[in-house]
Amino acid sequence: MEHLVPLTRFGDIGNGIIWILAFFAVLVGLSGIVNLFRPIRALQRPTGYLLVLLAVVFLAGFAWIGWFHHQIYVRLPLALPANLAQFLNSHLQMMNQGADFGLPLYDAAAPPRYVLPLWLENEKYYFWFMCYALLALPAHFRMQHPRLRAALHILLAVQVGILFGAANPFADPLPNFFGAVEPWFTGNLSPAQRFGLFMQLYPKMIFYYNAEYMWFHPPLLFLSYACITVTFVTSVFMLVRREQEVEKMGYDHARLGFFLLTLGMLLGYPWALKAWRPNWWWDPKICSSIMMWAIYSTYLHTRLYAHKPFMWYFSSFLGILCFLAMIFTFISSFFFPGEHTFV
Amino acid sequence: MLQDMQNGKKAAGRAGALDYWLILATAGVLFAVSVICVYGMFYYKLALVEQLPPAEKAAYLNTMNGVIAPFIIGLILLLGICVPKRLLPASWLYRFAAALTVSAGVLSWRLDITAALTAVLAASLILQLVVLAMAVAGSRRLHFEKSGYWVRVGSSLIHLGLILFVLDLLLYRHLVLHLFLFWVTTGASVLGMVFCFYASAVAGIFRRRENTQP
């Protein structure tokens, strides 16, 4: 695919970005470990600058992913020969009859192109952790609480570590996507084979890659995951000591996270109806998402009574449980089969 | 006068206690729903539901629907009790809750469970619309745990969205109406959350507008 898309250039510059991120993250993580056990006032200000740098590098990497996706849009159209296009359109017209959500007809003047969202495959980790970095930054400057800051820093370093070691989006860019489309662009296909492959790629392009919901449903959820992570940190501290400021910060992130989670889940609903019809309620990912939403909702309800000693601890326990439910929900895509598998 | 104040305090205390127990009950039902969801996930994997023929897969879905149904019914009943708590004093609320539960039981016995739940949801919807209208009008007669105009309007909208969402699920066969109601639900929930969670910012925006008008 190198002759079609600048994979090497994307990988080289992207890997440079990941190395810079890893370097800053090591420093932030070390400062976090030191501050967690023995807070050092002198470390607070430089760590703040490091966090700003980390956020800037994260954003630069994200822009780089955007550039790469633009290259895919420009260079990889699913173009068909004229005779096949005619045959395809008659086939599509027949398929669309009586269907609630049909496939658009092929337009030879403007062949379908991939408008890939910026959170596919390993990129989703990048986006998720970048959201956390962007949330940890104001949280750092808001709270003059060295240990809480330290916990936020350590979690950020862990996330960059995951990105660096196991989920680098620049090392092998979009392997599933390229694995699926490569035969189209590199294979010597007969007309029948090309038609068959088009009918595999086109529905996935329309209902998954190019779906407008893809631009709202996943990013809202990843943003909410980042909020839940901050709430998790504050909840752990709430278990140790009753500090109103910590609780307030946890609640501020919790309500933003709940708002984004609810909106994200709601926006997945019409998409699911369109792509899967109504037969998906017991899909494992849906189950775990509902469970997470239920815990989150309970957390916000119990928080109304946080002034009662029991409810203070109960709501902090729920804040922690919510984070664990989020991890479980995310990991469930890999272990449980269903419509969301490996998404 | 003193007696009146003491009675008022007692009534407020009773309403607060009821609110507290309703929240705990809601938390309990939501917890049960969560446990069933986790069970469903593991069963789905271990019984290889994904690979079952369509008829067996549908049977699995029906079984799971049956397992979760009592808790969803419980949630709807709790919703039915939570909605009028904004309107009624505590002593009337107990009577209302009892009447609602009995009516739902009678309807499900005489007709079917769907009709009973639809009736509960329809009653909740009407009451919630009244609550919303009163909250928008700034009525002081509503009983809310939190004060503030936008918090009350927001909370009313969130609960309206929730009722509409559950009611809308019963209409999934009518795709156009179903999706239309779904977007109404989404709009109400989103506006409600913005008003409720960011009440002071919303109030600030409206205050600034009032100040800039000639």
> Cα angle at A74 between A270 and A78, to 5 degrees?
65
| Candidate from A258, A278, A290 with C-beta closest to B37 | A290
pLDDT per residue over A89-146, tens digit each?
Answer: 888 888 888 777 788 888 888 899 999 999 999 999 999 999 999 999 999 999 888 8
Return the H-helix or E-strand segment holding A224. Answer: helix A217-240
Confirm or reject contact between B145 and chain A (CB < 8 A): yes
Minimum mean pLDDT range among B105-119, B148-162, B193-207: B105-119
pLDDT band with cut points at 50, 70 and 90 for residue B209: low
Identify the CA nearest to B149 among candidates B135, B159, B160, B161. B135
More confident residue, A276 or A149: A149
CA A9 to chain centre: 24
Domain extent, residue A27, equals 1-78+117-171
pLDDT per residue over A277-328, tens digit each?
Answer: 665 566 777 878 888 888 888 888 888 777 778 888 888 999 999 999 999 8
Residue A127 belongs to a domain: yes
Mean pLDDT of B102-126: 80
Residue A40 belongs to a domain: yes
In this prediction the ipTM stands at 0.76
Is the pLDDT score of B167 beyond 90? Answer: no
- Identify the pLDDT of residue A163: 94
User: CA A178, CA A184: separation in Å to the nearest integer?
Assistant: 10
Cβ A337–B50 below 8 Å, yes or no?
yes
pTM for this structure?
0.84
Minimal CA separation from B50 to chain A, in Å:
7
Spatial CB neighbours of A89, under 8 Å, sequence gap ≥ 6: A105, A106
Amino acid (1-letter code) at residue A26: V
Domain boundaries, chain B: 1-112
Helices A7-37 and A146-165: angle between axes, nearest 10 degrees: 150
Minimum mean pLDDT range among A191-200, B41-50, B189-198: B41-50
Say what percent of chain B tops pLDDT 90: 5
Overall number of domains in chain A: 1
Question: Residue B170 — φ and ψ, nearest 5°?
Answer: -70, -15
Cβ B37–A279 below 8 Å, yes or no?
no
Cα–Cα distances (Å) from B173 to A78, A103, A287, B121, B132, in that order, read 35, 21, 22, 18, 29
| Candidate from B20, B30, B45 with C-beta closest to A298 | B30
Going B48 to A291 to A254 to A318, the CA torsion angle's sign is negative
Q: Which residues of B touch A262 (CB under 8 A)?
A: 189, 193
Cβ B45–A295 below 8 Å, yes or no?
no
User: CA B146, CA B155: separation in Å to the nearest integer?
Assistant: 10
Confirm or reject contact between B26 and chain A (CB < 8 A): yes
| Candidate from B27, B64, B182 with C-beta closest to A282 | B64
Residue A94 belongs to a domain: no
Q: Which residues of B touch A284 (CB under 8 A)?
A: 40-41, 44-45
Ramachandran category for residue B160: left, alpha or beta (phi over 0 → left; psi -120 to 50 → alpha):
alpha
- Identify the pLDDT of residue B5: 45
pLDDT band with cut points at 50, 70 and 90 for residue B2: very low
Residue A102 belongs to a domain: no
Minimal CA separation from A309 to chain B, in Å:
14
Residue pair B81/B23 in contact (Cβ under 8 Å)? The answer is no
Minimal CA separation from B51 to chain A, in Å:
10
Cβ B61–A263 below 8 Å, yes or no?
no
Identify the CA nearest to A273 among candidates A211, A224, A335. A211
Confirm or reject contact between A329 and chain B (CB < 8 A): no
- Identify the pLDDT of residue B1: 43
Q: Which residues of A touch B27 (CB under 8 A)?
A: 298, 301-302
Mean pLDDT of A223-247: 92
Alpha helix positions (H), chain B: 2-46, 54-82, 90-110, 113-136, 149-169, 175-197, 199-212
Cβ A291–B197 below 8 Å, yes or no?
no
Minimum mean pLDDT range among A80-89, A91-100, B89-98, B186-195: B89-98
Confirm or reject contact between A324 and chain B (CB < 8 A): no
